[in-house]
Amino acid sequence: MDFLKLAKERFSCRKLSNKPVEKEKIDKIIESAISAPTGMNRQPFKIWVVNSEEGKANLAKVTPFTFGANVFFVVGYNTSDCYVRPFDGRNFADVDTAIVATHILLEVQDLGLGTTWVGHFDAPALKRIYPEMADYELIAIFPVGYPADDVKPAGKHFERKSAKELVAYL
């Protein structure tokens, strides 16, 4: 699939079937995430794969947006070892991790799976449940699975501003 086609076909999938996701596909998602570019290749991110029954129940305690998924990717970053722009001290851990998260979204789509970026979750509660997340800023939960047969993009998915509104040539 060419990239533009992949980017346009990806949508926020909010209804997943109960078909299990194969380990090979989980591994490929992880490989794609790890291949994401980060500032000075510092890789300040961490990915937690949640696929146990207990783990799924724990995620349901911190967000109602699980969409029937059988596997989840929780993504966060630590600011202690990341690129910091010397001119103004801007820490790029959040940017780097957003790039990683985008790789996850696009690889999920390319594998014929569905997901959406869930930002609505109780991060402090999740850190209490999983103390290994305590030193990380958690930015996203990705519920991943095979799209349900009747799922379709939300109407707003197709609403895009024009290039004239979003791009300036200097």
Task: Check the CA dihedral 115-119-122-125 and report its sign.
Answer: positive
Rounded to two decimals, the pTM is 0.95
Asked if residues 63 and 122 have their Cβ atoms less than 8 Å apart, the reply is: yes
Would you say 77 and 97 are in contact if contact means Cβ atoms under 8 Å apart?
yes
Q: What is the 3-state secondary structure (H, E, C) of the chain?
A: CCHHHHHHHCCECCCECCCCCCHHHHHHHHHHHHCCCCHHHCCCEEEEEECCHHHHHHHHHHCCCCCCCCEEEEEEECCCCCCECCCCCCECHHHHHHHHHHHHHHHHHHCCCEECCECCCCHHHHHHHCHHHCCCEEEEEEEEECECCCCCCCHHHHCCCCHHHHCCCC
Task: State residue 71's pLDDT score.
Answer: 98
Residue-level pLDDT at 158: 86
The pLDDT assigned to 81 comes to: 86
CATH superfamily of 3-148: NADH Oxidase (3.40.109.10)
pLDDT tens digits for range 96-150: 999 999 999 999 999 999 999 999 999 999 999 999 999 999 999 999 999 999 9
- The residue among 109, 152, 145 whose CA lies nearest residue 18 is 145
Instruction: Name the token pair of 70.
Output: 């059988």
Lookup: tokens for 32 = 């794609």
- In this predicted structure, the answer to whether residue 1 has a pLDDT above a threshold of 90 is no
Q: How far apart are CA 74 and CA 49, in angstroms?
A: 7
The span from the CA of 105 to the CA of 7, in Å, is 10
